[in-house]
Amino acid sequence: MACTTHRLSRRELLGTGAAFAAGAAIAARPTGASSEPLFDAHAHLVSPDTGRYPQVPADNPGAAVNLPAQEFRQFGKARPIPQAEHMVDWMKAAGVGAMAAVQKRGTYGVDNRYILDSAARFPEIFYPVVVLDAQDEATPALVEQLAARRLAGVRLTGVSGPDHSFAWLASDKAQRVWAIAAETGIVIDIMTMPFGHPPDALKTYADIAARFPGVRMVIDHLNWPAARGAPDFGIGPLKDAVGRHANVFFKFTTINIDKLQDARLSPGAFLAHAVETFGKDRLLWGTDMGNTPGTYRELVARGRAAAASLSPEARRAVMHDTGRSLFARRAPSLMARSQQPSPQPTALSDDDLAE
């Protein structure tokens, strides 16, 4: 399905790159009640300035990546609105040092300007994860351009096709994006739809993980497992499909906590089982702020509570170390490239550089 992609001019993109250096001195310092560090691996930012950062209309399914009309909705109208400046203060108060700022597809589609602008203003706090359409011919060149400017990851999202395949994730075009991720060290963040457990995606995950073992793949919300208790807590199929692939990681978010609590199941028991299943270094926590209702302090407290029964080492890995190492780390090739002027992609003109 074709999608409408917002494009940045060369001047806009270069301005974003310059702003990274200008804001480097600004950082959030954890000041919460606990001394244990936190890294939020999944939160969204939304601007109140809808003139500068227009939101996709709810009746325009073409603005959402790889979603047919019946699946599209402008979801996640959560309050309070996570404006970047407010989020910085909320993080500091809650003891969160930094976060992966994930593009909010339901609000902005593939217009990633607000995520990129916010990361440019607060480069030590927000590590940007953009949403792009891997089926778009312009995407590979764009990813190379943004990777040289501290991009943390690319989020690929969509539904299965009529034949139950995931072309947007595993097609020849998409594999060009995976190859660039292998070169630059950026994360590929995946969310399959519809909500619930999409078992058809599991084989695709495994095939890609094996084809690109050097790419760190992060599966959002643990692939929406069914809310079940012991013995497998609903993640048995995920373990069977990709558990052996060490380059696959799993986000545990407030969405998982909500589903478990609605089913009267213990988020702490679920998380402990996930850590036992995949290992503490493959689980990472995120609030889902901007999509899940609640104040930031409340969402952080729910995450802390779910992780309270873990060992100190496992808790630190899930709540900080794994997420930060994935999204804040820069590959050596990327560090070297960032010291040089970025090449101009031949497929794009100076005034039509894809966002």
Smallest Cα–Cα separation from 147: which of 202, 184, 200? Answer: 184
Confidence of residue 57 (pLDDT cuts 50, 70, 90): confident
**175 versus 336: which is more confidently predicted?**
175
| pLDDT beyond 70 at 5 | no
Q: What is the mean pLDDT of the chain?
A: 80
Angstrom CA distances, 267 to 32, 263, 264, stand at 22, 10, 9
Kindly provide the b/e burial profile for residues 59-92, where b requires at least 16 CB atoms within 10 angstroms of the residue's own CB. eebebbbbbeeeebebebebeeebbbeebbebbb
Q: What is the pLDDT of residues 296-331, one digit of tens each?
A: 999 999 999 999 999 999 999 999 999 999 998 554
Q: What is the pLDDT of residues 103-113, one digit of tens each?
A: 998 899 999 99
Whether the link from the prior residue into 68 is cis, omega within 30° of 0, is no
Q: What is the pLDDT of residues 127-176, one digit of tens each?
A: 999 999 988 999 999 999 999 888 999 999 888 888 778 888 988 999 99
Contacts of 64 (CB under 8 A, 6+ apart): 3, 56, 72, 105, 106, 109
Smallest Cα–Cα separation from 296: which of 48, 115, 83? Answer: 83
Smallest Cα–Cα separation from 247: which of 191, 301, 325? Answer: 325
The reported pLDDT for the residue numbered 329 is 56
| pLDDT beyond 50 at 117 | yes
Q: What is the pLDDT of residues 189-219, one digit of tens each?
A: 999 876 544 677 899 999 999 999 999 999 9
Q: Which domains does the chain have, with CATH numbers?
A: 7-354 (3.20.20.140)
Q: Which residues pair with 317 in a beta bridge?
A: none
| pLDDT beyond 70 at 333 | no
